[in-house]
Structure 1
């Protein structure tokens, strides 16, 4: 019987805006006029290097950044350093947009909840099932939940940069279960990453994976979780 549910953040409950929207918003803010064709080229380079937090994973990580990339979620400093360095590798048409883009990725307006996120969290609350958000991340995304009106539906946040341990290490899932007051065998982990999130199975947790599609392409994947309880 499931007595507690853990959710991943990015790609599971929320999804960041497209890389094109991300770049366009920052270019507009700093007064940089980027022609549409050039913007598309810049977006392709950003996606190649996986420079957008919460966006597509990198297809290319330069050798000198590999160690930093592996450790990016362990501290706020490494997270910022990794993503701003990858942005600079993309050679954008301005002296340095890396910091501005990184700051944009932490704004609540850059994140959209999946259509069924609130109803699923609210249904769990109605059933008396506590919820934890367990995320590999380098910044505090609690304000995203508050600004989208769902923070009161989350009981516990277990964030890698605050704990110094990241998924798939079973210790981070154990921390979440301990704070929820449930045995791992009575917990469900819902995520989108088949390596990181499946780490919960090591403890005996059930695991359910969803596809990290854009929000308009995935309307009901979270609501299906309720059928597993």
Structure 2
């Protein structure tokens, strides 16, 4: 297969969200709400356990019935995404109830995200080779400001975001839209992601698929570089 286009997932593939503790600390600082350090650490651990941070750890326990159904379709609209994550966060008491929405807003800030160490190198190399690059993500908000803030936007030719289309991976329709946006046939496209179920759905369309490990950025310094070998 001659690769003419590469689709990348966003969270856990090209970018990594900040730690839950950093996320909570930033929201508290912005809201000027004090929280003693031991309580802050305990609260961050509780938020992580319930899966409140988008792009972070998944819930480690069954969700309440009222949230479980919403969780399954959370990436189909901006409203559903916010409702799912703020609903999960509200399982953890915070010193000011407004902080639940403030936490959600914080996770959309470019400062909350770090590109993987080799992301710029790999995207730039693909562009130099004339390979079309797109981002296809299950998400509830516009991630393009994150790419602009970190200098990666010039390398990306198309963004196909689930909330814009009401479709979420692994539905092949989202991958088909991404291939169409790049002007590349599925059989000439490689999908790169960290979720074997969601990103693996591209295989049903005829795309090649390559998986990376969802790890903190310092622990995965060169996980994207094999893509360059696959493209050839």
Q: TM class, shorter-chain normalised? A: over 0.9
- Measured in 2, the distance between the counterparts of 1:75 and 1:114 equals 27
Other-structure match for 1:47: 48
Other-structure match for 1:133: 135
Deviation at 1:182, TM superposition (A): 1.4
From 154, 166, 169, give the equivalent of 2:168.
Answer: 166
Other-structure match for 1:58: 59
| TM-score (normalised: structure 1) | 0.97
Check conservation: 1:88, 1:96, Cα contact below 8 A.
no
Mapping for residues 1-229 of structure 1, pairs under 5 Å: 1-60=2-61, 61-229=63-231
- Measured in 1, the distance between the counterparts of 2:167 and 2:97 equals 35
| TM-score (normalised: structure 2) | 0.96
Unaligned runs of 5+ in 1: none
Unaligned runs of 5+ in 2: none
Deviation at 1:175, TM superposition (A): 0.8
Q: Secondary structure at the match of 1:2?
A: coil
- Measured in 2, the distance between the counterparts of 1:67 and 1:95 equals 24
* 4+ runs deviating over 3 angstroms: none
Q: CA offsets per residue over residues 186-227 of structure 1, 9 Å max, x none? A: 110000001000000101111111111111111001112101
Check conservation: 1:4, 1:180, Cα contact below 8 A.
yes
Of 131-140 and 171-180, more deviation after overlay is shown by 171-180
- Measured in 1, the distance between the counterparts of 2:92 and 2:80 equals 19
- Measured in 2, the distance between the counterparts of 1:162 and 1:214 equals 28
Deviation at 1:45, TM superposition (A): 1.2
Please report the RMSD computed on the Cα atoms of aligned residues, expressed in angstroms: 1.0
Aligned length: 229
Q: CA offsets per residue over residues 40-69 of structure 1, 9 Å max, x none? A: 211121112111111111113211111111
Q: CA offsets per residue over residues 67-123 of structure 1, 9 Å max, x none? A: 111111000011111111111112223333111001101100111000100010000
- Measured in 1, the distance between the counterparts of 2:132 and 2:12 equals 21
